[in-house]
A and B are shown apart, each in its own frame.
Chain A
Amino acid sequence: MRHVGAIASRELRSFFVSPVAYVVLTMWSVLAGTFFLSSLIGFQEDLIRAQQFQALDALEQMNLNDGLILPFYGSMWIVLLFALPAITMGLFASEKANGTEELLLTSPVTIWEIVLGKFLAGVGFVSLMMAIVAFYPGLLFVYGDPEWGKTLSGLLGLFLVSVTYVSVGGFASALTRNQLVAFVLSLVLLLVIGMMLPFIVELGVARDALGSSSALADVMRYIGTGEHFEQLLRGLVDTRDLAYFAIVTATFLWLTKTALESVRWR
């Protein structure tokens, strides 16, 4: 496993010589600012409305975590679906296009080392994205008094979702030498895993066909990221949800390894 660090650090550095990383980080920062502001304005409007109508119950219930931080994290999750494929598309596809795959596969390096090295580089980049996101709730601690636990568990949720998506995007990248194909493929996979699966289950038609409480519907709901992410957003750190992220990530890492090997067996 000693090559993992070398592969990860080379990859991480290579992110920052291509414009893609800067474009993604810029977009990410701008959108984070925009969504934070809109969440803030939304929260303020709710507050004013509640005061106008003297809705004391509602006023009592309102807090920065549920009213502001949660929708903010939710929006960033959607951005993630579109931003991460741009980061992961090159992980393996560029090695194939450069011919450097031949170097890696003829070096005394195991395929797991390659897969994990690439994955860790992705995780490193994602950590940077999380630091940018964390800045905004951080502001609230200066001016207000949100709950630490909920704020952090939401951030943890966003981080785990990103890590999981890196493994999905890496898999897409391992299937092709064309980065554009990798981008589209991982976007589709992420949309399916992230949004479509639970959505399909809830659709009227599908509910009739599947029966919304059928085993299949349960499985599909389980596979979707949404439910697990929401638990963490609400401040519920449950091992079952943590296990979900671990399982999906491990599965896609394993698929990536298999995809890389299968290229050699053709």
Chain B
Amino acid sequence: MSEPAPAIEAAHLSKRYGDALAVDDLSFRIGRGEVVGFLGPNGAGKTTTMRMLTGYLPPSDGSARIVGYDVFEQPLPARRAIGYLPESPPLYPEMSVEAYVAHVAKLKDVPRGARRAAVDHAIRRCGLVEVRRRVIADLSKGFRQRVGLAQAIVHDPPVLILDEPTVGLDPIQIREIRALIAELAAGHGDAGHTVLLSTHILNEVEAICQRVILMSEGRKVVDEALSELVSGGRSLEEVFARATSRDDAASIAPAPAGASEGPGAEGRA
């Protein structure tokens, strides 16, 4: 490993729940500063994958590395490098926004001297200044989602893993969160964060991602730069529908733009 380790590296990840195979031999590498959209229908294994990448769930097989640290062999440095927003933001409803973010900063090893500033910074970036003293239980869903995001970025991690950050929000809130993610990805001064973001809103991907990983039934079916994917006049929606249709033939190979007339076209849902 002479070159800098990739920000996120999944090697033959599998997860079995009893007999069901939720994730099946999934491998990919995400370089530093990349913004990757993680797509797939419900139940495709996105959340399970993200949970394995963050160390919440141990994989049944395979391994994951975050900036070079194995998530299970060297959990503490790996976790320090991750900012994670789970599917439902992990909030303590009885705490104030400020107290909560400060608490997370402690958990994430932000040094004592830098804590105050880190908390202020996260609160400002996520647009929470006017609610910073409010109790989380009293906040609207949009604000809660932002508190979840503030929690993920408070220790300024190089890698952000966001599980459906805009789900359940109204269009304006979606736009705001999206702008925030784009801003985080672009970085402030130094190199931007690496972002892996799951969603099923396709234009979200088009708006902020450079690359798409598409999962279906636990397997990776597409892993390509967005510009490649949508070249040749295909819309992302078409790609999505084709790749996730039952017919496997359409996808597995990183299809060049010309080979878009697969047999899966009629299988569109």
Q: Chain A: residues with CB nearer than 8 A to chain B?
A: 3, 6-7, 10, 14, 17-18, 98-110, 264-265
B145 to chain A, nearest CB (A): 13
Give the complex CA separation of A265 and B54 in angstroms.
15
Q: Is there an interface contact between A10 and B103, defined as CB atoms closer than 8 Å?
A: yes
Q: Is there an interface contact between A99 and B92, defined as CB atoms closer than 8 Å?
A: no
Minimum CB distance partner of A3 in chain B: B107
Q: Which residues of B contact A14 (CB under 8 A)?
A: 92, 94-95
Contacts across chains A and B counted by CB atoms under 8 Å: 66
- Interface stretch, picked from B5-13, B75-83, B240-248, is B75-83
Give the complex CA separation of A173 and B60 in angstroms.
27
Q: Which residues of B contact A107 (CB under 8 A)?
A: 79, 104, 107-108
Q: Which 8 A-B pairs have the closest CB atoms?
A: A103-B90, A6-B106, A17-B94, A107-B107, A100-B90, A106-B54, A108-B76, A108-B79
A197 to chain B, nearest CB (A): 37
Chain B: interface size category: 20 to 34
Give the complex CA separation of A17 and B86 in angstroms.
25
Other-chain contact of B109, A99, A102, A108, A110 (Cβ < 8 Å): A108
Q: Is there an interface contact between B107 and A98, defined as CB atoms closer than 8 Å?
A: no
Q: Which residues in window 5-62 of B have CB below 8 A to A?
A: 51, 54-58
Mostly helix, strand, loop or mixed at chain B's interface?
loop
Q: Is there an interface contact between A105 and B56, defined as CB atoms closer than 8 Å?
A: yes
- Beyond A105-B56, A108-B80, is A100–B109 a contact (Cβ under 8 Å)? no
Q: Is there an interface contact between A108 and B108, defined as CB atoms closer than 8 Å?
A: yes
Other-chain contact of A106, B84, B89, B92, B93 (Cβ < 8 Å): B84
Question: In the complex, which of the residues A6, A98, A106 has the most CB atoms of chain B within 10 Å of its own CB atom?
Answer: A106
Q: Is B199 an interface residue (CB 8 A)?
A: no
Q: Mark B97-108, 1 if CB is under 8 A from A, else 0.
A: 000000110111
Q: Is there an interface contact between A106 and B55, defined as CB atoms closer than 8 Å?
A: yes
Other-chain contact of B106, A3, A17, A98, A99 (Cβ < 8 Å): A3
B132 to chain A, nearest CB (A): 18
- Beyond A106-B79, A108-B109, is A98–B55 a contact (Cβ under 8 Å)? no
Q: Is there an interface contact between A100 and B92, defined as CB atoms closer than 8 Å?
A: yes
Q: Which residues of B contact A104 (CB under 8 A)?
A: 107
Q: Is B91 an interface residue (CB 8 A)?
A: yes
Give the complex CA separation of A110 and B109 in angstroms.
12
Give the complex CA separation of A109 and B82 in angstroms.
13
Other-chain contact of B94, A3, A18, A102, A109 (Cβ < 8 Å): A18
Give the complex CA separation of A101 and B92 in angstroms.
10
Q: Which residues in window 133-160 of B have CB below 8 A to A?
A: 151
- 23 CB contacts below 8 A, A to B, read A3-B106, A3-B107, A6-B103, A7-B107, A18-B94, A98-B90, A99-B88, A99-B90, A100-B91, A102-B86, A102-B90, A103-B107, A103-B151, A106-B55, A107-B79, A107-B104, A107-B107, A108-B77, A109-B107, A264-B56, A264-B57, A264-B58, A265-B58
Q: Which residues of A contact B108 (CB under 8 A)?
A: 107-108
Q: Which residues of A contact B104 (CB under 8 A)?
A: 103, 107
Q: Which residues of A contact B95 (CB under 8 A)?
A: 10, 14
Q: Which residues of A contact B92 (CB under 8 A)?
A: 10, 14, 98, 100
Q: Which residues of A contact B80 (CB under 8 A)?
A: 108
Q: Which residues of B contact A103 (CB under 8 A)?
A: 84, 86, 90, 104, 107, 151
Give the complex CA separation of A239 and B80 in angstroms.
43
Q: Which residues of A contact B103 (CB under 8 A)?
A: 6, 10
Question: In the complex, which of the residues A18, A99, A110 has the most CB atoms of chain B within 10 Å of its own CB atom?
Answer: A99
Q: Is there an interface contact between A99 and B89, defined as CB atoms closer than 8 Å?
A: yes
Give the complex CA separation of A105 and B26 in angstroms.
23
Q: Is there an interface contact between B82 and A106, defined as CB atoms closer than 8 Å?
A: yes
Give the complex CA separation of A14 and B92 in angstroms.
9
